Structure 1
Amino acid sequence: MENTQNYNQDLTGKRALVTGGTKGIGKAIADRLAQSGARVIVTARNNPADSDNKHHFIAADLTQPEQVLKLTQEIDEQFGGIDILINNVGGLTTPGGGFSTLSDQDWENELQLNLIAGIRLDRLLLPTMLEQKNGVIIHISSVAGKQPLWNLNMAYAVSKAAVNSYSKALASELASKGVRVLTVSPGATKTPPMEKFVEDFAASAGITVEQAFEQLLYQTGGIPMGRMAEPQEVASLVHFLVSPAAAYLTGTNYAIDGGSLPVV
């Protein structure tokens, strides 16, 4: 049984693209897929800081349609398409404070980065998956999509809620065509962007970083497991979901949050 399980999670020969794959959760996912045998392509706006990065890197700003097109053309030319797409690029870029602090441009920026970039990439890479009648798409969302904090992440949470709905609809459309679509929603995860978010919140509130983190935990109802997730833990879930071991899973949103979502 153990040997079969190991075989079922093997990704040898699979071609995987991880967006935002040079740091944080994206890098952990890219590394985990490569360890399982996949040929991994990563993309980000800037070159990876890690000089030992062993993945094929293509620079691209996914909020720019022409750069997305160039990215997919290069992938088609060099790899003949992909089997696994991890739509991980995203982030909270707008100010806190509620509706009155958010401009039209703030809303547009958040939707472009967290929603439209993934939709655009799906549209260009799906034809090859459909032709080969096989593929997996993972949208990295956030527990914020189900539990928005009006004073901290309103536009970000709305964009992630839209990702959840889009991902479910796409999964239903493609389920009978050999392509699985799933959503992974991390909670608080120990990454550089998360650390900066807490630091910025502390600075704006005039409190210490420790106090800021405690306030954030209080607003979200706390984390029953008592700690943030490690990026590698999110990567392990993603690895399972894209593997043959998860062949019957599609359309589901998996929260990895240490039990923090206060809903069934």
Structure 2
Amino acid sequence: MFRTLAPADRTEFAGKRAIVTGGSRGIGAAVVQRLLDGGANVVATARTATDETPKSATFIAGDISTLAGAQEFASAALAELGGADIVINNAGAARTHLGGITSIPDEEWLDALALNFMSAVRVTNALLPALHEAGAGSAIVNISSMTALTPTPPMAHYGAAKAALNAYSKALAFELAPAGIRVTTVSPGNVLTPGADAIRQDFADAAGVPLAEITANIPLGRPGDPRDIAEAVAFLASDRAQWVSGVNLSIDGGELPVV
């Protein structure tokens, strides 16, 4: 069970302008709330808001899986905030195809790339002038997945898109370092979110095992809570991580195999 943490420092992100994609539920909503708790002004987006979407954030509905949608959202977010200091690219989704790689339709490969990879590229490109204007200390955190590091055939399209995000993030970190803009990546493992729960249920049904068995072997003894990821994102976006860039932080309760 997730242990309650001490209250966040309300001055940590005071005056900071943060933009979070995929911020309506799950990890995205937790990140939005953590940045708000730290004193940031936050704009979030997703196709629709949910009961999980933090009410203190400004929510802008949109579809950032297209170039026009990503640019439209970025413009609206900048108009709302007057600039940007922190960008969290969290938008993502996937469907399992238990028939394996050849059962994944061509259009789903393209959809996976559009939402899980190209949305981050497009939103970031649209926001880079504002980040350069904000100057050194600005931060981009891209939310990837352990599936990029340990891909499985039923989710090969999702893993490939997130692997592309990892490579892009590393290159972007190198390019933006002279401007003092840091770029990092977070790769969550088995976290309890609506989307991930549905995927785990598919695997459990296919294996004929209880859902709990899918996460039974996590070394730290429990699946992740969205707040576990949000805390890491908050650190990477803050000045506490001022000498951290180009890294991919795995947050998975110790589940990633180590040789």
Query: Which secondary structure state, in structure 1, belongs to the residue aligned with residue 165 of structure 2?
Result: helix
Question: 1: distance between equivalents of 2:247 and 2:209?
Answer: 39
Q: State the number of aligned residues.
A: 251
TM-score by length of 1: 0.89
Tell me the CA shift for residue 126 of structure 1.
0.6
Tell me the CA shift for residue 204 of structure 1.
4.3
The answer to whether 1:63 aligns with 2:52 is: no
Question: 1: distance between equivalents of 2:192 and 2:96?
Answer: 20
2:225 is aligned to 230
Query: Which secondary structure state, in structure 2, belongs to the residue aligned with residue 115 of structure 1?
Result: helix
Question: CA 1:244–1:70 in structure 2 vs 1: closer, same or farther (change >3 Å)?
Answer: same
Query: 1:12, 1:37 within 8 Å by CA — same for their partners in 2?
Result: yes
Query: 2:94, 2:112 within 8 Å by CA — same for their partners in 1?
Result: yes
Question: 2: distance between equivalents of 1:11 and 1:51?
Answer: 20
Tell me the CA shift for residue 33 of structure 1.
0.6
Tell me the CA shift for residue 93 of structure 1.
2.7
Work out the percentage of aligned pairs sharing the same amino acid. 40
Residue 96 (structure 1) aligned to one of 95, 98, 103: 98
1:129 is aligned to 131
Question: 1: distance between equivalents of 2:162 and 2:11?
Answer: 28
For structure 2, which runs of at least 5 residues remain unmatched after alignment?
Answer: 1-7
Question: CA 1:10–1:51 in structure 2 vs 1: closer, same or farther (change >3 Å)?
Answer: closer
Query: 1:223, 1:260 within 8 Å by CA — same for their partners in 2?
Result: yes
2:243 is aligned to 248
Render the CA deviation track for 1:135-157: whole Å, top value 9, x for unaligned: 1000000111111112x311111
Tell me the CA shift for residue 132 of structure 1.
2.8
Query: Which secondary structure state, in structure 1, belongs to the residue aligned with residue 39 of structure 2?
Result: coil
TM-score by length of 2: 0.90
Q: CA RMSD in A?
A: 2.0
Question: 1: distance between equivalents of 2:62 and 2:96?
Answer: 21
1:107 is aligned to 109
Query: 1:24, 1:192 within 8 Å by CA — same for their partners in 2?
Result: yes
